[in-house]
């Protein structure tokens, strides 16, 4: 049985004042039956990790460089995330792929660096609206799986997040049938490549997850949790999503 994971991606949001939201979340979920992860901007990771220390909430980064160190101004190495208290890192998010032209090969290289640095890699996949409407969704996802995932992944070292690009921050979500189709496809691909470990790797759904739709999404068999954007910024929004996941998977 895969343990549920509620992951919050704060993106380019949050200042020191936001730490109070995490304090509230920590108080509301002292002994959750699912895992909770928050990935704040790099400027907050050390302070947020101090707030969550000793609690059930894990922290992580939003990206890491393939190199261990060097002349890469503005970038962050896996070891720096670990040093700041993080245990996870989000890689290959559609916003990184679009804003920074990241390729599958680059995402794969970053994932290798994350694993070598002792981090759990949360590797993101997703199709555009044009690709969805052209009936290319599974082809796109299959290509991203093949190109973005390094060999040797296990349920303890990696998480996959399916985020249809057209659903991120738009309020639109795929139908339950569409989510089921893609998550079943990802699961079959993982098992074909990684065997028993492919069954253990958690697959999250992301894209306009909110308290109002969380329970229906979490009822899907191969949805093991969510990668939540805007709704993870406020405890009053993220907490009921965590509770919905506990009800479904806890």
Query: 169 pLDDT exceeds 90?
Result: no
Q: How far apart are CA 241 and CA 38, in angstroms?
A: 13
143 Cα distance to chain centroid: 19
Q: Is the pTM above the cut of 0.95?
A: yes
Query: 147 pLDDT exceeds 90?
Result: yes
The domain segmentation of the chain, as residue ranges, is 5-249
- Active site (catalytic) residues: 93, 163
What are the tens digits of pLDDT across the range 54-93?
A: 999 999 999 999 999 999 999 999 999 999 999 999 999 9
Predicted pLDDT of residue 1: 82
What are the tens digits of pLDDT across the range 196-245?
A: 999 999 999 999 899 999 999 999 999 999 999 999 999 999 999 999 99
> Which pLDDT band, with edges at 50, 70 and 90, does 170 fall under?
confident
Query: 25 pLDDT exceeds 90?
Result: yes
Q: Residue 203: which residues within 8 A CB-CB, separation 6 or more? A: 159, 160, 161, 162, 183, 186, 187, 190, 222, 223, 224
With a pLDDT cut of 90, the percent of the chain lying above it is 96
How many Cβ atoms sit within 10 Å of the Cβ of residue 94?
20
Predicted pLDDT of residue 161: 98
Predicted pLDDT of residue 135: 96
Q: How far apart are CA 200 and CA 2, in angstroms?
A: 6
Residue range 5-249 in CATH 3.30.70.380: no
Predicted pLDDT of residue 250: 79
> Which pLDDT band, with edges at 50, 70 and 90, does 192 fall under?
very high
128 Cα distance to chain centroid: 18
- Residues 120/87, Cβ–Cβ less than 8 Å: yes
- Residues 15/226, Cβ–Cβ less than 8 Å: no
Predicted pLDDT of residue 168: 85
| Average pLDDT over all residues of the chain | 97
Across the range 136-154, mean pLDDT stands at 98
Query: 114 pLDDT exceeds 90?
Result: yes
> Which pLDDT band, with edges at 50, 70 and 90, does 27 fall under?
very high
Q: How far apart are CA 125 and CA 138, in angstroms?
A: 11
- Residues 209/168, Cβ–Cβ less than 8 Å: no
Q: How far apart are CA 132 and CA 60, in angstroms?
A: 30
Query: 173 pLDDT exceeds 90?
Result: no
What are the tens digits of pLDDT across the range 3-19?
A: 999 999 999 999 999 99
Which one, of 157, 148, 102, lies nearest residue 124 by Cα? 148
Report CA-CA distances (Å) from 46 to 59, 79, 171, 210.
9, 13, 31, 27
């Amino acid at each position: 049985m895969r343990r549920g994971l509620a992951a919050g991606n704060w993106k380019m949001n949050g200042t020191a004042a936001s730490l109070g939201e995490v304090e509230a979340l920590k108080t509301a979920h002292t002994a959750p039956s699912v895992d909770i992860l928050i990935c704040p901007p790099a400027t907050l990771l050390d302070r947020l990790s101090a707030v969550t220390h000793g609690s059930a909430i894990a922290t992580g980064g939003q990206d890491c460089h393939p190199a261990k160190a060097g002349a890469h101004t503005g970038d962050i190495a896996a070891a720096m995330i670990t040093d700041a208290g993080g245990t996870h890192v989000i890689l290959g998010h559609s916003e990184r792929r679009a804003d920074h032209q990241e390729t599958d090969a680059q995402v794969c290289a970053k994932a290798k660096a994350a694993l070598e640095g002792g981090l759990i890699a949360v590797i993101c996949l997703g199709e555009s609206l044009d690709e969805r409407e052209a009936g290319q969704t599974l082809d796109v996802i299959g290509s991203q799986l093949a190109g973005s995932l390094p060999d040797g992944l296990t349920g303890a070292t990696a998480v996959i997040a399916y985020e249809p690009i057209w659903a991120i921050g738009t309020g639109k979500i795929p139908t339950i049938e569409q989510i089921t189709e893609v998550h079943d496809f990802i699961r079959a691909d993982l098992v074909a490549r990684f065997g028993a470990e492919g069954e253990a790797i958690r697959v999250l759904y992301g894209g306009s997850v909110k308290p109002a739709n969380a329970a229906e999404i979490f009822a899907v068999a191969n949805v093991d949790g969510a990668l939540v954007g805007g709704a993870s910024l406020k405890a009053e929004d993220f907490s009921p999503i965590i509770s919905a996941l506990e009800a479904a998977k806890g």
